[in-house]
């Protein structure tokens, strides 16, 4: 079911005994929006040089931690040592 409150309310009114199940798409979308908001808040508190160091690294927060620490970070396009440093910097912020 869609998470929209009026839709959920209408369903409860018509089918009060029905179990309401929220589909994975909406849960993942809400989680991604929350992560993006957190990333923007973290960047807002950084200095200009720190922000430049994290430029184009939005996917640091979107990857699984185990995938970030494999040594083949970001499809090999950047230095894994720098990539792992960026992760540690974000975690300490």
What's the rounded Cα separation, in Å, for the pair 64 and 56?
A: 17
Q: What is the pTM of this model?
A: 0.53
pLDDT tens by residue, 60-69: 666 776 776 6
Half-sphere exposure of 64 (CA within 13 A, CB side): 3
Domain extent listing, the chain: 46-92
Closest C-alpha among 77, 37, 75, 73 to residue 85:
73
pLDDT tens by residue, 4-58: 889 889 999 999 999 988 888 888 888 889 988 888 888 888 888 888 877 766 7
Contact 26, 7 (CB under 8 A): no
């Amino acid at each position: 079911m869609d998470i929209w409150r009026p839709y959920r309310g209408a369903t409860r009114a018509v089918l009060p005994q029905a179990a309401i199940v929220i589909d994975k798409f909406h849960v993942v979308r809400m989680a991604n929006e929350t992560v993006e908001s957190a990333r923007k808040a973290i960047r807002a508190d950084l200095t200009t040089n720190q922000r430049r160091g994290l430029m184009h690294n939005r996917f640091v927060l979107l990857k699984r931690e185990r995938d970030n620490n494999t040594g083949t970070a970001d499809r090999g396009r950047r230095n894994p040592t720098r990539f792992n440093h960026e992760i540690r910097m974000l975690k300490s912020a």
